[in-house]
Structure 1
C-alpha cells in the first residue's frame, strides 16, 4: 500500500512540476508580451513608416483533393418512376478545370503610409479576373487585423479577444511548446486555446514570442467551426530599432463541419457536409477555398511622411485599373503560378459572354431599390405602399444614372392614393461640382403628404424595403407643397451633409388650428434653412474612381440637424427653430451576441406648429382586443404607444436591444431572440396654441419592454411588448402589444 502511495505521490510531484513550472513560465511570457504591447507596437514605437504591399486573393482548389472520376448515380424521372443510372461528370470536369486555372483571382499593389497618427493605403494598381473595372468593395474587405497588439483580433469581420489582451488569461489557456531560433534570435513557441470554445468557434493558434523583447515574431490564428478561418502574420526583425516589423499576412477560408450555406460580406458560400454519416455525396464546393496573401517590401521608417486626405483609409487611384502585367511582375514571388494567366483569360471571356458586368450592375441597383432602364434607374420604392389616409398608394419614380451623365442628374416621382384620390409628385435636378467630395447643387419641387410630427433627418438615405410596416396604420397626415435648393456634399471628413433652403405651404388633413398671438392658422407658409449632417468618426472609408464607400463601419455614429425659419422671407408665417440629434451604437460580443443602443432627442423653440413637432414614432392602433391590435412591428417604433397619443416640443428617447446568440430548434427553424427596452421623456411648451386634436405629454416618462423572436421561419417572427410606468394603462390587456415581424435577408452584411 505504501509502495502505491509513494508512486502516486511521485507522479503527482512530477506532473505538478512539469505543469506548474511550465504554466508559470508561459504565464510570465504572455504577461510580459501583454505588458510590452506598446513598446512593440509598430504604430506606437516608430514615428512614421511606409512600405509597399502586394496582395493576391484567390478562390481555388487543389486538383489533388478532387477525385475527378466519372460516377454513376441513380435517378428517377420527375422524381418518381423506375430508377435509372446516369453518369455524373461534375467531379471530372471540375478537376480538369482547376488543373488549368483558378476559379477567381484579383491582385493589388498599394503604398501603405503611417504619419504618426493615421495609417492610409493607396492602391496604385489592381486587376480582377473577368472585370474591366474591379468590384471595389472586394478591395476594401478587412479579412484580418493588421496589428497583433490590440485588445481584440479580427477574422472575417468577427472580433475575438486578443491572446495578449489585458484579460486574456480569463479566456485562454497556454502551452509552452519549444524555444528556437528565428532570424538569429531566440523565440518561444506558445500555443493558445479558448477555455470554453476550444473545439468550435473559439480563437486558437500559435505565437512565436521574442525571448528578449517579448514582441510577436510570427503568429498563426484560426477559428474552426461551420467554416475554418485562419490568419497568419510574418515579421522581420529591424535591428536598428530593436523591433519586429510586418513582412506579410495570409488569410484562408476552408470548409468546416457543416451542411449549410455560409454568408460572408457580399456573398454566400455553399458547402456540403463531409463525413461518414453524411447523406450527401462530397461536392466540388467542399474542396474549394479562399486564399489571400500579402507581401510587404521597401520598408522605410522615421522618415517624413505626408498623407493627403488622411480621413480616407483606402484610396484607389484613378489609373490603378489601367496597369498591365509588367507593372505587377516585380512584386510577385519567384515561384511561377501556371494557373494565373488562364484564370484571367478564361474569366474575362466568360464575364464578357455572360454579361456578368451588367448582371452585377443590375444586382447593385436592385439592392438599393432601383432597376436600370437605359439612362434611367426606376425607383422600386414608389411602386406600391399602403396607409390609412391614402389607401393603396401606387406610383412610379426614377433618377438618371451615369449613362445619362456623370455630372448632371434628374429625378422625380408620381403617385396616387386609391382612398384620397389625390395625385402627388416631385421633380428635381442637380449638377455635380466636386468629384472627390461628391458635391452636388440641386433643386426640387414636391407636392405630397407626410405623417404629422414625424421626426425625419434629411440626410437619411431612403432605404429600400419590400414593405414599410409602420405607415400602414398611420391616418393623420398633412399636405405640403415645397420648393427647395440644396447642396449635398461629403467635403467635411467622415461626414455626409445636406444644406438647404425650403419654402413650403402646409395644409393639415385633420381638424387642427394653430394659434399665434390673436390669429388662428388652419394652413400656413414656412420658409426654412436647414443643415443635416451624418458623422461617422470611427468608420473607415475607401475613395474609388466611382465614389466613396464606408468599408469598415464602426460605432458610435452621430446625426445632427438644425432647422430655423427665415422671418420675412418668401411669405413665412412663424418664427421657430429645431435641433435634432441621434446617436447609434452597436457592440458585437466575442460570444456572438450583439448589443445596440439608440439615443434620439429633439428640441423645438418659438412658435412651432404641431405638424413640425415630435410624436416619438408610435405603432399601436386603438382596438379593444389585444388580438385585434396585431400588426407588423416597426424597427425602432414604440409598439405599445397609440397613434396620436403623445406629442412633444422637446423629447429624449433611449432604446436598448440585446440580440442573443441564434438558437437552433430544427435545421430550418433558427430563431433570433432580441431583448428590447424603450423609454422616452418629453414635454410640450405653449400647449394652448394647438387646438382641435387632444393629446398627452411625456413629462412623466414612457416605458416599454419586450421580446422579439425574429426569423422563426422564412424571415417571419413574432414579438411581444408590455407598457408600464407612469403612463401604463388601467387595463392589463391594453398595455400588451403582439406583433408580427418580417426580416428579408439577402446575405449582405449590415
Structure 2
C-alpha cells in the first residue's frame, strides 16, 4: 500500500520529501460538512474571505475564490454569512443538500460606521498596526517565555471526496474497465493515511533567541525519524517578521514597514474573539497576480491593533496556506500564539513536473485554455499540519542551553512510550491514524525502508554503502591533461564498522602519466555532539599548481567536474598530516592540522633562492581552517550538528605557517586566505549573489603554492576550438598559467533573473555575471621555467549564462576587457557549455 508513494520517490529521506505533496487537494473529513461559494448577487463575482458563522459558535471564512467549508461533529441546522458592505444572510440547511451558492445584496450604508475620512479605512488600520508592531509582538513585549507544542502532519486524502470515476477507464471500444492503480488507492485511503508523523516540542525564548527542543518524535514506517524533515520550515513562527516565510519561500509581510507600498487592503467585516472586537482586513499584492503574490486576511484587535489571527496564502502551481491563531492574555495585554496550521493543495499548471525520477501531472488551467485531463488518485491527496501550544509561561526564568542551536532533538525523542503520546496528544488517534502506524511500520520492515534511506542519503553525498565500507564514487573516474584518464577506488568506513573509529583511503592510476596515487587515513571520535575527530593520514598524489583549497570545505559530489579537464600543470606531494576536526565553537566548524610534505613540480620549473635552485622541496606547516556562519540556523541531532537554514553572509578563513627548518622545511613562509559569500533571494523570484575571495602569501614560497585565481580557458586559435565546460567561480576567458600572484583579491557578482519561457520545454535561467581581480607578485625573478604575467592592472570579464536551456544543458558567453584585454577581439570571447543536474529538488 505504501508503494504508491514511497517506492516512486526514493529520496524521501531529504527534507525535500515535502515536494511529493505537490500532488494535492484538501478537504477535511468530518461527520457533518457543508460546502459552498459566496457571490455578489448583482455581478455574480465571488466575494473572497466572507465570514461564515453557525449558532453554536462555529465560524470560518471563505477563501480567495469565495469558497468555504464548515465541518462539525454536531449537526448544523443553519449558518449566516456576512461581508462588509453587504446585507447579512441567514441560510437554513436542507436535507440531503451539502453545497450552497449564497448571493449577497450590497448595502453601502454599513460602511459609513467605519469610514475614515480621505483614506481607505483598511489602510488606516494597517498603518496603526504597523506603528504598534513593537508593543504587540510577543517576542518584543515579554522578556522571556516558554511553552510546549504538539504537532501532527499527515499526507492523506478524504475518501468521501474522491470521485467514483477515478477507478474506471474507457477503452478504445468504449467499454468500461477498472483502473487498477486508482482502484487500489481508493480502497487503501479509506483505511489509512499515506504518511504520518507527530512531535512534541519545547519552545524557549530568551535574549532575542528562540529555540525548539523536540522532546518526542514519531514517524510512521521509521524507527529513527528523518531529521531533515523535522528541520523543514513550513511557516514562520512570528507573524510580525518583516519577511513572512511559507514553505521555505519568503514574502514581504503585509505588516512590514513598507507593506502599504506593496499591498492593497480591504476592510471585509468585524468579528469577535475572546470577547474582543476585531477588524477583518483582506490584503493582496498590488503588482502580482494571484498565482504569484501573498494574499490573506488579518484579524486585528480594534483596541490594541495586535494580530489576533492571520491567514496567509499563495495560490498557483501549489495552493499553500498558513493559519496562525492567538489567545489574548489580559495581564500582559498581548495576543500570544495558541495554534497554527499549514496545508498544501494542488494548484494548476500546464506542464508535467518531474520529481525524483517520477512524473507528477498537473491539470491545465482552464483560464489559459489548457486541455484538461482526467483526474487521477494523486489529485485528491493533500498535506495537512497542525500545531497546538500549551503550558505557556511568560516572563518566568528560562534556562536556555546551547543558545546558538535553533533546533535540538532530545536523545530520548524516538523512544517515547504510548503513555507519553497519550498525555500530549490534543486529540486521540482515530482508526485511520492508528492503522497508518501499524501498516507503514510493517511495510517499512518488509521493504527495508530505513536501509534504502541510508543508501539514498549517502548516494547524494557521493558514497555507495557496501557493508561496513562506503565506496567513494568521486574516486572512480576522472580526466585531466597530465594524468589522462584517472581510474581509482576509495572510500571510508561507516557506523557498521565503528562509531568511534574511522578509516578512509583511496588509490588511483593515471593512464597518461603511468603512476599510482595513494591516500590512507585513520581517525577516532572525540565527541559525538560536536562531531570532533582526531586523526593522521598519508597522501601521495598530484595537485593543480597555485590552487587554493580550503581544508574545511567539503568536496561535493559531481557527476562531472569540468574544469580539471584541461589542466596540465601539477605537482606531486607526499605528505603526512595530523589533524583535529571539530564543531565545538557555536556556528563554526574548523580543522587544525600539522603537515610535512615533499613537493616535486611535474612541469618545467625551478625556484631560485639565495643563489640555490630548487626543483623539489620540503615543507612543514601548521594550519587552521574554519568556516563561520553566524546567521544560519543549526539543528543538533543525536548524530551531530546539521545546518538546517543557510543564511548569509558566511565567512571562511585559513591560515598556514611554516614551523620547521632544515631537512623538514626549505622555506620560511605563511599564507592567509579569506572568502565570504552573500546571497539574497528577492521576493520576485530573482537572486543576487556576491563572492569575494582574497589571499596573501608572505616569505619564501614557490609558484606551486602561490595563487592563479582559477582560470578556465585553453590556448587554441579559434573561439570554437576553445569551447569547453564552464566552471562555477572561475575566469572563463583567462588562460591556464597566464597569471600568478602572491597576493590578490577576487570579486564576483551574479544576478539571476526569473526563468524565461522561449518554448514550452525551453525555459532557460538567465544569469548576468561579472568578475574582476587584482593581484601582485613579489620577487618575480625567483620563478624560472614558466612565462606568465601579474595582475597589477587588474583583470575583468563579464558575461551571460543561459542555464538549463534543455535537460540541464545551457550555454554561457563571456568577454574579457580592461588593461589585460587581448589585441584580437575574438580572443577576448569565451563560449562555454554549462550543465545543471536537476534531481527534482
TM band (smaller chain): over 0.9
| 1:100 maps onto 2:188 in alignment | no
Take 1:83 and 1:28, find their aligned partners in 2: how far apart are those partners? 62
Look up the match of 2:248: 157
Look up the match of 2:134: 38
Partner deviation per Cα, 1:249-294 (whole Å, 9 max, x = no partner): 1111110012545589x99893431666535310111111111111
Change (3 A) 1:400 1:203: same
Q: Secondary structure at 1:614's aligned position in 2?
A: coil
Which consecutive unaligned segments of at least 5 residues does structure 2 have? 1-105
Look up the match of 2:335: 244
Q: Per-residue deviation at 1:570?
A: 6.0
CA contact (8 A) 1:700 1:727 kept: yes
Take 2:780 and 2:769, find their aligned partners in 1: how far apart are those partners? 32
Take 1:39 and 1:570, find their aligned partners in 2: how far apart are those partners? 69
Look up the match of 1:50: 146
The 10-residue stretch of structure 1 (567-576 or 667-676) with the greater mean CA deviation from structure 2:
567-576
Look up the match of 2:604: 511
| 1:188 maps onto 2:284 in alignment | no
Which consecutive unaligned segments of at least 5 residues does structure 1 have? 1-10, 77-81
| 1:720 maps onto 2:816 in alignment | no
Look up the match of 1:583: 676
Moved over 4 A (4+): 13-23, 69-72, 82-86, 259-264, 266-269, 274-277
Q: Per-residue deviation at 1:93?
A: 2.4
Look up the match of 2:505: 412
Q: Per-residue deviation at 1:165?
A: 0.7
Take 1:559 and 1:38, find their aligned partners in 2: how far apart are those partners? 35
Count how many residue pairs are aligned between Structure 1 and Structure 2: 731
Q: Secondary structure at 1:196's aligned position in 2?
A: coil
Change (3 A) 1:208 1:480: same
Look up the match of 1:168: 259
Q: Pick from 760, 765, 768: which aligns with 1:672?
A: 765
Take 1:737 and 1:502, find their aligned partners in 2: how far apart are those partners? 39
Q: Per-residue deviation at 1:90?
A: 3.2
Taking the TM superposition and a 5 Å limit, the aligned residue runs for 1:124-273 are 124-260=215-351, 270-273=360-363
Change (3 A) 1:358 1:565: same
Q: Pick from 534, 541, 553: which aligns with 1:441?
A: 534
Q: Pick from 702, 717, 731: which aligns with 1:609?
A: 702
Q: Pick from 637, 644, 647: which aligns with 1:554?
A: 647
Take 1:245 and 1:263, find their aligned partners in 2: how far apart are those partners? 41
Q: Per-residue deviation at 1:96?
A: 2.1
Change (3 A) 1:404 1:667: same
Q: Per-residue deviation at 1:226?
A: 0.5
TM-score between both structures, scaled by the size of structure 1 = 0.94
Partner deviation per Cα, 1:81-115 (whole Å, 9 max, x = no partner): x9986431333322221221111000000111012
CA contact (8 A) 2:311 2:321 kept: yes
Look up the match of 1:65: 161
CA contact (8 A) 1:67 1:95 kept: no
Q: Secondary structure at 1:100's aligned position in 2?
A: coil
Q: Per-residue deviation at 1:610?
A: 0.8
CA contact (8 A) 2:670 2:699 kept: yes
Look up the match of 1:532: 625
Partner deviation per Cα, 1:545-587 (whole Å, 9 max, x = no partner): 1121111111111100000001327611101110000101111
Q: Per-residue deviation at 1:187?
A: 1.2
CA contact (8 A) 2:199 2:218 kept: yes
Look up the match of 1:294: 387
CA contact (8 A) 1:664 1:671 kept: yes
Take 1:311 and 1:365, find their aligned partners in 2: how far apart are those partners? 27
CA contact (8 A) 2:661 2:667 kept: no
Q: Secondary structure at 2:664's aligned position in 1?
A: coil
Look up the match of 1:357: 450
Change (3 A) 1:723 1:563: same
Take 2:281 and 2:180, find their aligned partners in 1: how far apart are those partners? 46
Q: Per-residue deviation at 1:745?
A: 1.3
Look up the match of 1:27: 123
RMSD: 2.1
Look up the match of 1:486: 579
Change (3 A) 1:134 1:96: same
CA contact (8 A) 1:249 1:293 kept: yes
Q: Secondary structure at 1:616's aligned position in 2?
A: coil
Q: Pick from 808, 825, 831: which aligns with 1:738?
A: 831
Take 1:648 and 1:285, find their aligned partners in 2: how far apart are those partners? 58
Q: Secondary structure at 2:737's aligned position in 1?
A: coil
Look up the match of 1:7: none
Q: Secondary structure at 2:431's aligned position in 1?
A: coil
CA contact (8 A) 1:70 1:89 kept: no
Q: Secondary structure at 1:340's aligned position in 2?
A: helix
Q: Per-residue deviation at 1:743?
A: 0.7
Q: Per-residue deviation at 1:332?
A: 2.1
Change (3 A) 1:186 1:70: closer
Take 1:511 and 1:70, find their aligned partners in 2: how far apart are those partners? 72
Q: Per-residue deviation at 1:325?
A: 2.3
Take 1:137 and 1:113, find their aligned partners in 2: how far apart are those partners? 21
The 10-residue stretch of structure 1 (420-429 or 178-187) with the greater mean CA deviation from structure 2:
178-187
Partner deviation per Cα, 1:528-561 (whole Å, 9 max, x = no partner): 0000001111111111111211111111111000
